[in-house]
Amino acid sequence: MAVKLRLRRMGKKKQPVYKMVAADSRSPRDGKFLEAVGFYNPLTNPHTLELKEDRILYWLNVGAQPSDTVKSLLRQKGITLKKELSGKGLDEEKIKSELENWQKMKEAGSKKKTEKKLSRKAKAKQQAEAGSSDANKEQAPAEEKKSEEKSE
């Protein structure tokens, strides 16, 4: 039996909530599953992701294949990195330190992205203000010329 880690859609219409499950690859998306190993809500900001790491690692170690979406979610949480490091034969302390370093790098990268986005917005706002003041300056002389022509 081929086992897949995939998302099972739940929730109301236009408001999806997903359960991450280990299921037989032949079963339908919302059909029978072997075990629920997590929860994913994409509608919250930032999205909610609750996982049972030990069970996910168990299923990955016995050969379960994650779907593309599940793979990206596991990557975001660092579970794939943890599996790779344990596969290399590293001890628990080494794995823990590597995960902490990865987490710090990830936070620094997200801070950098947000700062860049904010600076880009501020720059655009300054250009818009400068553009509107330039447009006012250009209109003022044109109005003066029209008034001079009428007076002659």
Q: Does the pLDDT at position 143 exceed 70?
A: no
Q: How many CB atoms lie within 10 A of CB 115?
A: 10
Give the mean pLDDT of the chain: 85
The pTM for the full model equals 0.70
| CA dist., res. 48 & res. 40, Å (int) | 6
**Phi, psi (deg, nearest 5) at residue 29:** -50, -50
**Which distant-in-sequence residues (6+ apart) come within 8 Å of 150 by Cβ?**
none
Q: How confident is the model at residue 115 (pLDDT cuts 50, 70, 90)?
A: confident
Q: Looking at residue 67, what DSSP letter applies? A: P
Please name the amino acid found at residue 47. H
